[in-house]
Amino acid sequence: MTDNANYESEGRIVLVRHGETEWSRTGRHTGLTDIPLTDTGAYKAELAGTLLAGRHFDLVLTSPLERATETARLAGFPNAQHDARLVEWDYGAYEGLTTPEIVANLGHRWTVWDDGAPAGETPGESVAQVTARAESLLATIGPRALAGEQVLLFSHSHFLRALAGVWIGLTAAGGRYFVLGTSAVSELGYEHGTQVIEQWNHVRGR
């Protein structure tokens, strides 16, 4: 990690993915289904907090879903403000399914980054919709980070990956390039005014 002395000179947006759940452990798409952390997920959420200890944050936001708010609490931020823009990608009819199950049902290749969630009777979000949600969030917090503030976000795998893609000038589909483990801590920042990835997928005890 960058020396703590450097954190005060430029703003950062720090991202924390929630801890393990039963669905994340088994690779099931978990969008808006509100399920709790496993015991392992709770323990590793506490470990994520050790990576944040001693740092000052001007703004702390969390997805309102339980797995994110509980991760925030266990990491030492029980008063994180809810922001609905931080919820996970809405997978619609693909909720609860694994990628192999979705591909088997469709009969052809599928990824959320290329195809988004399905339309139809149980529609989910498209890549364009998630891009717009990420842009809306960054329009709120980006200027604060540019002004030197430290912003901390607790959210979900696909949305945080999408957010990173949008941060560096791609669409939400750019999230395909950023693998992100449970309880991982990542950082978005600046280099000479350019929006960059400062750190990615740091997990305590790995």
Annotated catalytic sites, by residue? 18, 88
Residues linked to residue 187 through DSSP beta bridges, in sequence order: 14, 199
Tell me the C-alpha distance between 144 and 97, whole Å: 37
| 188 burial type by CB count under 10 A (0-12 exposed, 13-18 middle, 19+ buried) | buried
Which of 163, 24, 29 has the alpha carbon at shortest distance from 94?
Answer: 29
> Hunting for tokens 């999230």 — which residue is that?
175
H-run or E-run covering 139: helix 127-146
> Hunting for tokens 């960059």 — which residue is that?
196
